[in-house]
Structure 1
Amino acid sequence: MTNDLRVVVRPAIAADVENIYSAVRGIADVVGESHKVMSKAEDLLRHGFGPAPLFSGLVAESDLRFAGCCIYFPSFSTWLGKPGVYVQDLYVRDDFRGQGIGEKLLRRLAAVTRKNGGCYIRLSVDKENRRAQAFYSRLGLRPSNSDQIHSARGEDFEMLADADEPDQVSR
């Protein structure tokens, strides 16, 4: 690849699902967590491109070849009183790395977010992925000293949901 690579960044469409899913698998491979991917391409199609999409995406292409993608969803800061986005996945295929594609995807996302009234981008980075951390920092996405991500999944999530007592409605 040369540095004068022509890259088109466009909104993801349903026909991109197989490439997006391969990107998800690729990210998991990079961080050694392939065994944790439980989703299927059909899940991405249903939840991202159905009547009420739960995420959006941008796809980067060079000569009509899939080069990478950015999967994100809306977020809102009650402290800022403004919307933003959370980047779930940013992926660039190995044969396109070092060509500025990840940067192009994030710059387009920032522009789209701003156009929609947003003012921030948030994301998480694997603790061991120093290369990604350096990349994000170079673009101005800094680690948060005040936030730590917590999650409930699997059995923990089920226990939390099962503990809910529906509100008693008196008539």
Structure 2
Amino acid sequence: MSPTTLPDGATLRTARPGDEPGILHLIHALAVYEREPDAVENTTDALTRSLFGPDPQVFTHIVERGGEIVGIAMWFVTYSTWTGRHGIWLEDLFVDEAQRGRGYGRALIAALAALCVERDYSRLEWTVLDWNAPSIAFYRSLGAIPMDEWTTQRLTGTELETLAATADGGGRDV
């Protein structure tokens, strides 16, 4: 993606090496916003490996204003067995609180939508916390629809390790 100058002079572009501290700063700010201030384990080194390593599987678009990263959209490619086409999973969208209302969130999502169209991807998806009314209203204003019949499932920590230990065929399906 070529950098895009937004109406107020900010720049929308893909992340590049050296952006890791600014990205991590916004990840921490997102964790505070989502009421999980101590949950972030990510580091600048981990971001470097994930975003710029030999086979990156996660990507980030940023908004930069005055030399500072003020918005991020971190995403990865998904695949739909039903459509037979890829899509984008938006893992995190965050705009610094002091920079909200300038259209940066919309610009970030629009850039991902354009990427979907350009690559013939069938969907752009993400989750939102059910208590986050401002974000839900924002997403509805873009035309996003809730997938209320779907519930996110997650394995982590001990449960993940316990299940992994059965990968040799020792476990039974339910």
TM-score (norm 1): 0.90
One-letter amino acid matched to 1:11: T
Find the residue that maps to 1:28 and give its secondary structure. helix
Question: Which whole-Å CA distance do the structure 2 matches of 1:111 and 1:64 have between them?
Answer: 25
Which residue number in structure 2 is paired with residue 163 of structure 1? Answer: 166
Are positions 1:12 and 2:15 aligned together? yes
Do residues 31 (structure 1) and 62 (structure 2) align? no
Shift of 1:166: 5.9
CA RMSD of aligned residues (A): 1.7
After superposing the two structures, state which structure 1 stretch, 151-160 or 32-41, moved more: 32-41
Change (3 A) 1:64 1:39: closer
Q: Which residue of 2 aligns with 1:70?
A: 73
SS at match of 2:18: helix
Counterpart for residue 3 of structure 2: none
Q: 1:126 aligns with which of 129, 139, 143?
A: 129
Q: Alpha-carbon deviation of 1:111?
A: 0.4
Identify the residue that residue 152 of structure 1 maps to in structure 2: 155
- Greater helix share, structure number: 1
Matched residues in 1 for 2:70 and 2:26: separation?
Answer: 10
Describe how 1:100-115 pairs up with structure 2 within 5 A. 100-115=103-118
Ranges in structure 1 where 5+ consecutive residues have no aligned partner: none
In 1, Cα distance between the equivalents of 2:149 and 2:119? 27
Deviation at 1:27, TM superposition (A): 0.7
Identity across the alignment (%): 27
Cα displacement string for residues 4-50 of structure 1 (whole angstroms, at most 9, x for unaligned residues): 52232111112111111111111100011012212212111111210
Q: 1 or 2 for the larger relative contact order (CA 8 Å, sep ≥6)?
A: 1
Cα deviation, 1:60-81, whole Å, max 9, x if unaligned, reads 1224332211000001111122
Q: Take 1:140 and 1:159, find their aligned partners in 2: how far apart are those partners? A: 41
Secondary structure of the corresponding residue to residue 124 of structure 1: coil
Structure 2 residue 141 is matched with structure 1 residue 138: yes
| Selected match of 1:116 from 103, 109, 119 | 119
Separation in 1, partners of 2:80, 2:156 = 23
